[in-house]
Amino acid sequence: DTGVSQNPRHKITKRGQNVTFRCDPISEHNRLYWYRQTLGQGPEFLTYFQNEAQLEKSRLLSDRFSAERPKGSFSTLEIQRTEQGDSAMYLCASSLGSPDGYTFGSGTRLTVV
């Protein structure tokens, strides 16, 4: 297992288009988290899954955002009708359910033009 994998690494899209990102966690990890990070800021929590159940969503996650984790394996984060304010690094992390085992992927950098 090579860690948490995120694809694509970079995405440039026009305002109003839909985008989807994928995260493949460490295989034995049951928890999966999505964060967003803008320049000069720390990551901000968006949502998390325990197995296939989405247990919490941040107020940052507007109706244009949706996340899924079918069968408790990989996860997707979709943003509909993208806006320039959505430009950020989207980070995925997975864990076994304790904070000392949190492993992040390298992120997907989204640029909305």
Partner 1 sequence: QKEVEQDPGPLSVPEGAIVSLNCTYSNSAFQYFMWYRQYSRKGPELLMYTYSSGNKEDGRFTAQVDKSSKYISLFIRDSQPSDSATYLCAMSSLTGGFKTIFGAGTRLFVKA
Q: What is the binding site for partner 1 (CB under 8 A)? A: 4, 31, 33, 40-45, 48, 50, 55-56, 91, 93, 95, 97-100, 102-107, 109
CB of 105 to partner 1, least distance (A): 5
Query: How crowded is residue 83: how many other Cβ atoms within 10 Å of its Cβ?
Result: 12
Kindly tell me the sign of the dihedral angle through the C-alpha atoms of 90, 109, 26, 63: positive
Q: Smaller CB distance to partner 1: residue 47 or 82?
A: 47
Question: Can the peptide bond before residue 8 be classed as cis, meaning omega within 30 degrees of 0?
Answer: yes
CB of 10 to partner 1, least distance (A): 10
